[in-house]
Every structure is written in structure tokens, then in C-alpha cells.
Amino acid sequence: DARVTQTPRHKVTEMGQEVTMRCQPILGHNTVFWYRQTMMQGLELLAYFRNRAPLDDSGMPKDRFSAEMPDATLATLKIQPSEPRDSAVYFCASGLPRQPQHFGDGTRLSIL
Amino acid sequence: AQRVTQPEKLLSVFKGAPVELKCNYSYSGSPELFWYVQYSRQRLQLLLRHISRESIKGFTADLNKGETSFHLKKPFAQEEDSAMYYCALRGGGNKLTFGTGTQLKVEL
């Protein structure tokens, strides 16, 4: 059963530190999404890639967040510097055009 | 612009009672609607999509274009149905817009 794999599952760090979250999409999927889930805002789309090219990152704070796909098997989401308000669960999802998205288990991030 | 509204943050029902989780959407074109479920601290899983018109785990949802709704229903709630349910809309492109979610709690 193919799955989206996210690492790390949990991350606790102090404010000001750089945080890197990784996602391995399902093999063959050409669209990758990053979402942030919080109690207050629910699920928010941060960034969206197709064929490794960023199509939409309007939901992402540009000053501290960056998202990349160095190759088809890896997507990264970086926060530098991190702030306590970045504490959330970050989900990666992958899919094919006109097919449902498949979600990873998420990275639970706590910034102290 | 596309928008999904789930008016209830929390819905509490007794085991065996009917369930209806509300979802309304706003989109000028022809939307594709989904329901995702998230069990405690787990990943989101696709529950239903309107184009497949199937029943999963006893849940059904019908797209009502006149009322712009895609409510999720189940005739008899089970304890294992307790979870967070998200309604989502896909308009142009592959981007999903999610509602804020409804926490379903099934009590014994």
C-alpha cells in the first residue's frame, strides 16, 4: 500500500532555530501539497507543486518559509527563523491530476 | 473564489442515531467535492468523492447544486465513527479548499 512519508513525525525546538520538514510523495505522483493544520485555522494550503515546479505558494509566509522539490522523490518545507506561532501539524499530500490527494502522517511541530 | 463552509465545529450524537454533517460550498464553476476523515492524531483519509457516488463505512453524500451543499450522512452512528470530518472542494486545477472541519463524537 503506497504511502506519503513525512519526516520527522515530531519536532520540538526553540524559537529562532531552522526547521526542515521532508516529504516523500507516492512514486509516480506529480503533484505535491503542503498544508498546515491548527486548532484555530483548520487546514491551510501553504504550497503546491506540479512536476516539481511551484504553482502556488500564496498561502505561505514568504519571509520565513520556503518550499522546494529538489527531485521527484523529495519535497522540503523550511522555516527560518522559527517562531512559536509556527507550532502546528504540517501535512504533505501527493496526487495525480483529477485524482484524490493522499496525505502523509504529518509532522507535529512545537516551537518553544 | 472557492469556499467551503462547515457550520458545526462539534457534533455529538448517540450510538445508533442518524448523523448528518453539513457542508456548503461556493464556487462559480462545476466543483468536485470530497469528504476526508481524520481519526485521532492520524493522517487525513479520503472517505468519499461525489463523482463516485458510493457508500463508504455506511456514509453517503449527495451533491445538491441547487443548495450548493454536500452533506455527509449515515443512518446509524457507530462508536468508531468518532473523528474529525473535513469537506473539501476542488475547482479549477488540482488545489483543494477545505472547510474548517466538524468533530463528530459518538456517545454510548
Q: Dump pLDDT digits (tens) for A68-89.
A: 999 999 999 999 999 999 999 9
Q: Are the C-beta atoms of residues B4 and B68 closer than 8 Å to each other? A: no
For residue A29, the Cα-to-chain-centroid distance in whole angstroms is 15
Cα-to-chain-centroid distance, residue B78: 16
Q: What angle do CA A26, A48, A38 make, to 5 degrees?
A: 95
Using one digit for the tens of pLDDT, what is the confidence trace for B4-43? Answer: 999 999 999 999 999 999 999 999 888 899 999 999 888 9
Mutate to test the interface with A, among B37, B89, B94, B102 (most CBs of A within 10 A): B94
pLDDT at A73: 94
A contacts of B99 (beta carbons < 8 Å): 42
Rounded-to-integer distance, Cα A62 and Cα B64, Å: 38
pLDDT at site A2: 84
Give the torsion through C-alpha atoms of B3, B11, B51, A29, to 10 deg.
70
Helix (H, G, I), strand (E, B) or coil at B62: coil
Contacts by A49-53, CB closer than 8 A, 24 or more apart:
A49/A75, A50/A97, A50/B94
pLDDT in tens, A15-52: 999 999 999 999 999 999 999 999 888 889 999 999 99
Does the CB of B51 have a partner CB in chain A at under 8 Å? no
Interface probe, candidates A50, A101, A102, chain B, greatest B C-beta count within 10 A: A101
